[in-house]
Structure 1
């Protein structure tokens, strides 16, 4: 596994302090000795069970003994000082390791031991260790509590004054939740100096009006920041009325946050000065840092424990009454409110802030992430979750640092507030040419959409669509379903709204007779109530108000869309039809379409101090409604569980992978025999087959497999062959020995020595041809893809994808999402496939991909699905040398 035993990493302690976790070795002898010698006698007794002048030196000697496969020691250090040590030693002929942990005096109760043990467990799993054992004094309550609180399964056995503990290293949901809770708490504490600073220094506030630093300084001052504000300038005594100092070291108070707005080449040096002074957070708006400068900046922040926003960003803002910080160079201050905004693009950030301001939706916190060297959208989601001010999260993401951790966080946060994003980069080019159908289907857009869908994130295509949806979610309750009542005062606009609903997957149901009669009784005589409800141009304000209220309170629909055009009739009578939308609170969402309004979307204030969203185009309104309905549907579902698969041979699978990569260090496609063996490890059903090296073996194999009245398929094979049909390397429907011999001779004549053999298998019975597979994305991890199979897989592009590991709900969604899904359930009289067997297959693929990071791609095409069986007829698997990476291990990326 790639972790701290490969390279040092930085992580946050429980109090937000940054520490460096790394392998300890011979060079650490004196530091380890000092760690133990500086402990109080009582702490040394708890660590070694007795106080001895030799115990500390023996412990230091053990760490310094050099690298051994059965031993691992991890050090935690802060500003070069060793503050903690954790060790394991694998017991002889065992998958169990004995552990010990020590924390420097003065560093207790800050999470050092817990963090070290999380990383030690990660390293141990990679070495094949399944359990830790540890002996502790019963009086050592702190270490016993550390073991108990890890989230792993712990058993204790008391032996006099000692306790023998066994810790199982299985990463189950309880453990991941415990790690997640610790990470969230530490992360939020570490962000306090950044987002709730008591003092801010702006470094680089120039004396010229066009200075970016000057603009930020002005916004902080004019925004009524509640803390102390300083400026750093080598010459000026004051800038726009703010007292100026020549350097950070001369400031009368160490600022919590330093804003760096100076040329890129000087940013690292100033960051170093800030770190030495004790600054806790940096906002770097400087752009143009090269690779060396970027690396130096991040290293400095890690070394001194400073959180970093940027570089190359617009700034940040917090509108809380006790803070009122606008450290941006935007033209206008964000208004206070409850929308959290995080963007990578400063331009998109300005567009969102302006759009929210036009709607009257205030902002709780705004962060322009820029190049996102440290603080990310994941950090911001965790901040908003507990800040007590945010109820709507808006994101613009161009890249993902740790998408699996982001997905887990978003999945949790989205249950307490809507999380919206712009799906940027849908047309990403330059991805490598796909080598299999599965890889071809796993385009960047598909992968991102899988993440968004599973995490409950509402993904929009444009900033405008995001604002449309934000307006609805900010102002209206969620719809319970997809049924919409359309009300219009002109038949044509009602039809357009109905068409838009159909395109967006919303339903416009016919209204039941009783409801229709009620509507007819109150509306003008010429009205029609079939849905769309045409109230006609002669409708009055009160009639329209009662009509909307009746529909919104009735259980026949989940939302009401009201489309109104100005008419001479309403103008002549003085009726204000729009006012009918805003005079009574309603239990179901109501949206307006007002084609005559100039704004794309606006919020109409209601008498109860709420609002109703009004759109100039029905398609915009309907898309927003569809997003709201989808989010409501996601919220109504349980979280889903990853099923247990007890009959999986993970150990044997890893042996097959290791053996192949030992002989093929660059990786490659598995031969048919190894492919079949690997699939067997996971119980993936395959059609009977045989391998034949020459014509004689092919005939013998066919005779064994054919059976009475049977038919045979023959497929050529050579290393690297992927798409057999495209190469015309397949013969179907071979009925006798002569046809089998002729087919083999044809393949030999066309492919010659390139062909190393043939695969012989019986011709399968009829059924629905599907494809299923997995692909490992370098950023997102394993992705399971499912859809229509056969030769038309890529042509029709009818597939769905979900990130592994799949829950039961994910597998169900994979079956029902492709357009071909009706074929699986008996469409047009065809025999239905067995959905349980199909879901079973998907779960086994998911488990294989999750177990084996070296599995670059696996392609089952076609998979034949019938009423009583699901069978893979052809399979391809490609392996690459790759180590596992635990996406949930606590570290700063």
Structure 2
């Protein structure tokens, strides 16, 4: 058989938070496999596994699973240290493989901890990568545990009963969303179990508490004690018997009890040993404050954490804090204990963490939990989103992430969490520079900024451009109701010029300013203007402003109110102060209200209203308008019903797989497909490439052009020179269009041969396409973010106009529409100035098929369809380029723990 062995190693969490290693079984695992099937399983378990009691069955199983390597056998084991907890295997029955015979065994003492489902998830991934479409297995009717495992897996299960036995058949390529949801739910359960020792510890040890005042370890130890931690806290220092009036212990082993959490503040070289000591003692979580770990130290730290099932924050962490009154843990060396509250905060940079906590404290927003992720070897933003979703305290999540380990898994979690909790982030690492020198227009469009924006948009995350903007948006989202998705704002000011500036700021934030009823002017002083923005004049008093705002709030055309007030001599006494009008009403109204107070010295603060609620007040109208824009965007996302995956019927995945495998076998280093292979690949996924004929010489080119005319294509043809490694053929003068006669085709080919010489491999002959609007559609596979699908203005305008929209695959049905609508050139596609509307269904189909192609084949690292000519009667691509590269099969939703690059083996 020709199957490539797709199993790899990984670490993952069981349902109780235990870390297990998953790896293929090897010949030297024979004793462990035999022990699993003998000492590890009761007689009843062996009867259910082998359909009877046989002394030879365990040894035969070990011989089969641990014999010489076989390409038709996938066998995976789950390990804790040297103990084999269970194994799952399948034998491929066909060539090419389509069905595999499945077997499964778990040691009795590890039952009901999720071993079987975890093994099966990874085996499903490996089998799919090998081309398997079905698992089949024979089980006894009374083997309820195994039937429950199949039922819980999330894939459809077909059963046939006969004489006490059940033939189970599991289609692997059906029910993807249900399966992913089941995997995700198991991942959430395991994650929460593993994070409890970190975020709700009953006891803490600080390892490396120095006698020196101001040292990191001593500072953190002191903050834990002074912060009122509800559990026991111990200092560990082998050279001091007492620190700050408290007993110091020489080692973790010498502590009176095993701590749930250990905070490490030791030199980099001592970190691996300290981590190993903690793990051996039974510690379940580490926060490593130490920075500057080398590669060997990083590997040692990760080995200890994985071996002993410890979750890790850091290294290079500022620390963490949990304000739950039942815990009150402040294990970080920032300036002050975070104020208790309901905002979850996670940052990678300690400096950003200190700045963010300071601004939140000034604003009065309290924190439910704070984690400085540091170098993020293990615990990530995805873990914390899951924790905040379930902790019952967090109603606002603030993130500062400089990198993503698994963006698609993060986006899936965030998409669910943001339905109930606003998630805000600072979009760190933006770049205005594109990928200079990119080989295709699509790659040039896929800048880091575009990719990150696509991630945040699809995940429903509110992305801001700095800490101040983050806090400004959080202040509004936390204290005010959301506006209607339309986002129509009434701007009210007691100074006309300030109101105009505020109106401009609203327009720049994408907010509407609706017309207001003229009768509202009856509530304003003489000389006031009720046009939006409303100029109340400086003569307005508190009572008049109160009545006017209440009336404005009742207007159906108004979704939000922005009030800008500037101090004047007319409001020199409290009774004349118009700010009082804002504070006499309730803080939360039917529509959100934001104040701009131009005499305010801080960017944003809360003002207390009569009902005790908080009204956000800004010093600048631009900040207030931005915050309202973010609130409007969140309202729009919440108003959208979940969208199903984009539909791309009749895709021939097997034909595409055969073509891709064949090319990579012939070209192990990958590269660009030749024109005919490109045409075949796009045809397998129903992508509308124009008729393409390959010509190796001028005679073949002339014959091909005649054939195209004979079969009803346009009278004129295009001729495109080709050679391997060719880039941007039009810029190289390798395209001739409008060739109407045999002589013109022959002359064009001869010109190519003379101009390009021996490198010319031949030419492509295509019919001339009817005119239409030229678009660019393509794919770029990012090694971190996965496949990005790009749509934009095409042809020669592709790079000049930079009119593009992008989404990470897989696309949803809504993405197909919004990607088109976001283009600045969208009016041209919908029938502008009396022109006929173009076939938008056709361009949506192109996007759906590109998404499916990119999601199915990570080896397809770049595809550029430019131009795609869109007309009222459909779409056709007249030029396409595809680049392949050997990539491992990667399922972003497969449960596994992070493997940081710094800790990878050399």
CA displacement 1:498-519 (0-9 Å, x = unmatched) = 11111111111111x3xx30x2
- Equivalent in the alignment of 1:563: 564
Does the 8 A contact of 2:435 with 2:444 survive in 1?
A: no
| Equivalent in the alignment of 1:509 | 514
Compared with structure 1, are the counterparts of its residues 740 and 37 closer, same or farther at alpha carbon in structure 2 (3 Å cutoff)?
closer
Is the counterpart of residue 293 in structure 1 residue 297 in structure 2?
Answer: yes
For the residues of structure 1 that align with 2:624 and 2:727, how far apart are their CA atoms?
46
* 2:584 match: secondary structure: coil
Equivalent residue for 2:883, pick from 867, 875, 878: 878
The equivalent residue for 1:111 is 114
- Residue aligning to 2:130: 127
Structure 1 pair 440/591, CA: closer, same or farther in 2 (3 Å)?
same
1:189-240 CA deviation, whole Å, 9 max, x = no partner?
1000001001100011111122111111111111100010000001212222
Change (3 A) 1:149 1:584: same
Change (3 A) 1:432 1:45: farther
Match of 2:307 among 297, 303, 309: 303
- Work out which of the residue numbers 820, 825, 828 in structure 1 matches 2:830: 825
Is the Cα–Cα contact under 8 Å of residues 450 and 801 in structure 1 kept in the other structure?
Answer: yes
Match of 1:66 among 60, 65, 68: 68
Contact in 2 for aligned 1:864/1:873 (Cα 8 Å): yes
- What does residue range 462-481 of structure 1 map to in structure 2 within 5 Å? 462-480=466-484, 481=486
**Which consecutive residues of structure 1, in runs of 5 or more, have no partner in the other structure?**
none
Q: Residue 693 of structure 2 contacts residue 764 of structure 2 at CA under 8 Å; is this kept in 1? A: yes
SS at match of 1:478: coil
Match status 1:374 vs 2:378: yes
Out of 361, 365, 370, the residue aligned to residue 369 of structure 2 is: 365
1:848 aligned to 853, 861, 867, which one? 853
Query: What does residue range 222-371 of structure 1 map to in structure 2 within 5 Å?
Result: 222-371=226-375
Query: Take 1:498 and 1:119, find their aligned partners in 2: how far apart are those partners?
Result: 55
- Relative to the length of structure 1, the TM-score reads 0.97
Is 1:703 matched up with 2:702? no
Q: Distance in 2 between matches of 1:584 and 1:159?
A: 74
Q: Are 1:771 and 2:779 matched, yes or no?
A: no
In the TM superposition, what whole-angstrom CA distance separates every residue of 1:478-509 from its partner, at most 9, and x where no partner exists?
Answer: 11121000000000011001111111111111
- TM-aligned CA deviation for residue 184 of structure 1: 0.4
Q: CA deviation at 1:754?
A: 1.7
Runs of 5+ consecutive residues of structure 2 not aligned to the other structure: 899-906
Give the whole-Å Cα distance in 2 for the aligned partners of 1:381 and 1:155: 36
1:811 to 816, 830, 834: 816
Larger deviation, residues 353-362 vs 5-14:
5-14
Mapped partners of 1:592, 1:410: distance in 2: 30
Q: Does the C-alpha gap of structure 1 residues 5 and 859 become closer, same or farther in structure 2, counting only changes over 3 Å? A: closer
Mapped pair 1:862 → 2:867? yes
Q: How many residues align?
A: 889
Q: Verify: 1:57 aligned to 2:59, yes or no.
A: yes
2:484 maps to 1:482: no
Counterpart Cα distance in 2 of 1:644 and 1:556: 37
User: What does 1:250-649 align with in structure 2 at a 5 Å threshold?
Assistant: 250-427=254-431, 433-480=437-484, 481-511=486-516, 513=517, 516-517=518-519, 519-571=520-572, 574-585=575-586, 586-649=589-652
Offset at 1:428?
7.8
**Residue equivalent to 2:904:** none
Q: Could you tell me how far apart the structure 2 residues matched to 1:644 and 1:829 are?
A: 31
Match of 2:792 in 1: 787
Q: Using the TM superposition, give the Cα deviation of residue 432 of structure 1 relative to its aligned residue in structure 2, in angstroms.
A: 7.2
* Deviation per residue, 1:300-325 (Å, 9 max, x gap): 10011000000001000110010000
Aligned to 2:902: none
Greater alpha carbon shift after TM alignment, 718-727 vs 384-393:
718-727
Q: Which sits farther off after the overlay, 154-163 or 3-12?
A: 3-12
Q: 1:169 to 1:460 in 2, by over 3 A?
A: same
> Is the Cα–Cα contact under 8 Å of residues 687 and 871 in structure 1 kept in the other structure?
yes
Higher mean Cα deviation, 429-438 or 105-114?
429-438
1:762 positional shift: 2.4
Q: Classify 1:503/1:105 alpha carbon distance in 2 versus 1 (closer, same or farther; 3 Å).
A: same
- 1: CA distance, partners of 2:343 / 2:675: 55
Identify the residue that residue 90 of structure 1 maps to in structure 2. 92
> Structure 1, residues 272-318: CA drift from partner, whole Å, max 9, x if none?
11111111000001000011111111111001100000000100011
| Residue 20, structure 1, aligned to residue 34, structure 2 | no
Equivalent residues in 2 for 1:191-210 (5 A)? 191-210=195-214
Q: Say whether residues 1:762 and 2:767 are aligned partners.
A: yes
1:705–1:623 distance in 2 versus 1, CA, 3 Å: same
Cα–Cα, structure 1 residues 556 and 379, in superposed 2: closer, same or farther, change >3 Å? same
Corresponding residue for residue 736 of structure 1: 741
Taking only aligned residues, the RMSD between alpha carbons, in angstroms, comes to 1.7
CA 1:306–1:429 in structure 2 vs 1: closer, same or farther (change >3 Å)?
Answer: farther
- 3-state SS of the aligned residue for 2:624? helix
More off after superposition, 685-694 vs 656-665: 685-694
1:654 aligns with 2:619: no
| TM-score when normalising by structure 2 | 0.96
**Cα distance, 1:6 vs. partner?**
4.3
Task: Check 1:307–1:576 CA distance in 2 against 1; reply closer, same or farther (3 A cut).
Answer: same
Q: Taking structure 1 as reference, are residues 427 and 643 closer, same or farther at Cα in structure 2, changes over 3 Å only?
A: closer
Q: Are residue 30 (structure 1) and residue 31 (structure 2) matched?
A: yes
How many angstroms does 1:616 deviate by?
0.8
- SS at the partner of 2:897? coil
The alpha-carbon deviation at position 857 of structure 1 amounts to 0.5
SS at 1:250 equivalent: coil
SS in structure 1 opposite 2:84?
strand
Equivalent position of 1:669 in the other structure = 672
**CA offsets per residue over residues 134-183 of structure 1, 9 Å max, x none?**
22222221111111000010122222322221112125100000000000
CA shift at 1:710, angstroms?
2.7
Change (3 A) 1:720 1:5: closer
Any idea what SS the aligned residue of 2:572 has?
helix
Is the CA contact (8 Å cut-off) linking 2:6 and 2:129 kept in structure 1? no
Whether the 8 Å CA contact 1:563–1:594 is kept in 2: the answer is yes
Partner of 2:722: 717
Distance 1:273 1:104, change over 3 A: same
Contact 2:229 2:328 in 1 (8 A): yes
Give a deviation string over 1:509-550, Cα, whole Å, max 9, x none. Answer: 111x3xx30x22211121111111111100010111121122
Q: Distance in 1 between matches of 2:4 and 2:707?
A: 50
Q: Is the 8 A contact 1:229 1:242 kept in 2?
A: no
SS at structure 2 position matched to 1:51: coil
1:802 aligns with 2:807: yes
- The Cα offsets for residues 67-119 of structure 1, whole Å up to 9 and x where unpaired, read as 11111221111122111111111235562212121111211111111111111
Q: Does 1:694 align with 2:697?
A: yes
SS at match of 1:582: helix
1: distance between equivalents of 2:333 and 2:125? 43
In the TM superposition, what is the alpha-carbon distance from 1:738 to its structure 2 partner?
Answer: 3.4
